[in-house]
Structure 1
C-alpha cells in the first residue's frame, strides 16, 4: 500500500505542476488571477462535496472545532491560489512554484516565535540556505537587473505562508474529522472569500468564453482530483516521504513552462531552485526536537 500512496502523491504533485502552466496560459489570454483562482477552487469544491455526499452519514460532523480549523484551512488555500497566480503573472511558473515551497521554512519560523520548538544551528542553516536560493532564483544579488520584481517575490513568499496556514488548519481539522469533510468546508470558505473579491462580470463571461475548457481542466486537475489523490495517498505514506515526493510539483511546473510556454531560466536560477528544494527536503526529513523528545519519553516509560 505504501507504493500506492507514494504514486497517488506523485500524481497529485504533477497535477499541481500542470495547473500552474494552465493558469499561465489563461493569464496570457487576459484573464484575471482572482477569476482563475475562483474557478479552480469552485470546481474543486464541487468534487469534494460530491465525495462528501457519497457517505453523508459517516462524513457528517457537528463539532465547532472542525468548522474553525477547516475555515482557517480555506483562508490558507485562498491566499495560496491567489498569490501563486499573481507570482506566475509577475515572474514565471518555475519561480512561483519554487517560492511557494518555502512553506516548511515559515512553519519553522512560526514554531520558533511561538516557542513550539527551539531554534538550532541546523534549522538556522536551512533557513539561510533557502534565503540564498531565493536570492539566486530572483536575481536579488544584482539590483540593476532583477529577474523577479519585489511584488513577485512578496507574492511568492505570501503563497508559501498561505500554504503553511492551509497545512496547519487541515492537519488540526483532519485529526477530528474525515478529509472529505475538511476539504468541503475549507473550499466552501474559499468560495465565499473569492466571490467577494472577484469581478462577477468577468466570472460569468468566462462561462461562455473559448477558454472554459481550460478553466474546467484547471479546476479538475489543480483542485478536485489532485487534492483527493493527495489526502488518500498521505494516509499510506510517511509525512516526510510525502513532503519529498510533492517536490515533483515545481519540477513539473518548470518543465511545463520551458517546453510549452517558453519560460527560460539561467544557470544561476536553476542552482537557486536546486538549493531551495534540497534544503526544504532536508528540513522536512529531519525529525523535530519535539518528536525526538516524545520518542525518548516513550522509551523511558517502556523501560
Structure 2
C-alpha cells in the first residue's frame, strides 16, 4: 500500500473528505467541552483535580497506545529529539488538564473553558519573545481586546461578587498557557515521528508527572467507587477518542476552519455548566466571553490566512 501513489481526489470527493475532517475536529471539540462538565461533577463529589486529571490522561494513554500499535510505521521512537519535544508536550498537557480542573473547582466550567481558550494569545506572546512571529498593531490590539474580555468574564474588578476566585482565574489562564506549551512541543516533535508516537510519550509523561501530585488513597479508591463510569467517560471523551479525532481531522481541515470549529469546546462547556450544573453567568460575563471567543477566533483565522501554503 505504501508504495502505490495516491489517486487524486475529484472535487466531490475532496469536499466530502474536507467535510468529514471538519466534522471530526468539531466532534473532538465537543468531547473536550463535555469532559469539562464531567470533571466538574466529579470534583463536586469530592475528587481532587489532580486525581481527575490523572485518570483522564491514563485512559488517554491506553487509547493512543492502541493507535500506535495499529499504525506503528514511521513512529520515530528512535529519535532523541522526538522524545525531548514530546515530553515537553506532555508537560504542557499535564498542566492543561490539572489547571483546567482547578479553575473549574474555584469558579465555573464556563469561565475555566473560556480562559483556556485564550491559549492562542499565549502562543503569540511566546512567538513574539522568540521572534518567531512579527508583532503588529493589529495583533497587539487583539490581545488587548482579549484582556478586556478576561476582565469582564472573571469580574476581576469585583472578584468577590463574580463567584470566581483569584485562584480560579490564575488556574484558567495557566491552563491556556500550558496548552500553548503543548502546541509548541507537538509542533517541534512532529517532524521527527508520527502523531500517535508523540501522544504516547506525551501522555506517559503526563501520568508520571501527575501521579506525584495526586492523592494515592483517592487514586486507588476510584477503582471501587460508583463514580468510576464517569472517570471512564471522562478519559474516553476528554483524552482518548478526542485527541485521535482531532489529529485525524486536522489532516484535511484548513487551520482557519479548525480555529472557528474549536469554539465548539468553550460553548459546549458553558452550556453544560449552565444546564446540567446550574451555573449562572451575568450579563457582563456573557459579553466578556463573547469578546474573547470572537477575538481569539478572528486572530487565529487572520494568522492562518497569512501563513504561506
TM-score, normalisation: structure 2: 0.91
- Say whether 1:224 aligns with 2:233: no
Number of equivalences: 293
Taking structure 1 as reference, are residues 144 and 197 closer, same or farther at Cα in structure 2, changes over 3 Å only? Answer: closer
Give runs of aligned pairs for residues 120-135 of structure 1, distance below 5 A.
Answer: 120-135=136-151
Alpha-carbon offset, residue 118 of structure 1: 2.5
Is there any run of 5+ residues in structure 2 with no aligned partner, and where? 1-16
Deviation at 1:149, TM superposition (A): 1.7
Distance 1:143 1:211, change over 3 A: closer
The residue number in structure 2 matching 1:214 is: 230
1:142 aligned to 136, 158, 171, which one?
158
> Partner of 1:198: helix, strand, or coil?
coil
Q: Report matched runs for 1:228-267 at 5 Å.
A: 228-267=244-283
Shift of 1:117: 2.2
**1:299: which partner in 2?**
none
1:43 counterpart = 2:59: yes
Alignment partners' CA distance in 1, 2:213 and 2:160: 35
Which is further off, 116-125 or 219-228?
A: 116-125
Structure 1 range deviating more: 279-288 or 186-195: 279-288
Q: Report whether the alignment pairs 1:71 with 2:82.
A: no
1:87 aligns with 2:103: yes
Structure-2 change in CA distance of 1:8 and 1:144 (3 Å): closer
For structure 1, the residue ranges without an aligned partner over 5 or more in a row are 296-303
Q: Does the alignment pair 1:158 with 2:174?
A: yes
Shift of 1:92: 0.4
- Which deviates more from structure 2 when the two are superposed, residues 175-184 or residues 220-229? 175-184
2:149 alignment partner, SS class? helix
Give the CA deviation at 1:270. Answer: 0.7
Structure 1 residue 57, shift from structure 2 partner: 4.5
The answer as to whether partners of 2:74 and 2:193 remain within 8 angstroms in 1 is no
**Residue deviations 1:142-200 (CA, integer Å, cap 9, x gap):** 35534322111110000000000001111111222111111111101111111112111
- Superposed displacement of residue 288, structure 1: 7.0
Write out the 4+ residue segments of structure 1 that deviate beyond 6 Å after TM superposition.
none
SS in 2 for 1:181: helix
2:82 corresponds to 1:62: no
Give me the TM-score of the superposition, normalised by structure 1. 0.93
Cα distance per residue 1:228-286 (max 9 Å; x no partner) = 00000001101121121111000000111111110111111111110000000111011
Distance 2:173 2:66 in 1: 33
Shift of 1:60: 5.2
> C-alpha separation between the residues in 2 aligned to 1:30 and 1:242?
35
Pair 1:118–1:157, CA change in 2 (3 A): same
DSSP-derived class of the 2:183 partner: helix
3-state secondary structure, aligned to 1:166 = helix
Decide whether aligned partners of structure 1 residues 180 and 222 sit closer, same or farther in structure 2, where only a CA change above 3 A counts: same
2:212 counterpart SS class: helix
SS of the equivalent of 2:192 reads coil
Aligned counterparts of 1:19 and 1:33: Cα–Cα separation in 2: 13
SS at match of 2:47: coil
**Separation (CA, whole Å) in 2 of partners of 1:142 and 1:37:** 30
CA displacement 1:92-139 (0-9 Å, x = unmatched): 000000000111111111112222223211011101000000010011
2:20 maps to what in 1?
Answer: 4
C-alpha deviation, 1:55, in angstroms: 2.9
Q: Does 1:280 align with 2:299?
A: no
CA distance in structure 2 between the aligned counterparts of 1:167 and 1:109, rounded to whole angstroms: 13
Between the aligned partners of 2:54 and 2:158, the Cα distance in structure 1 is: 36
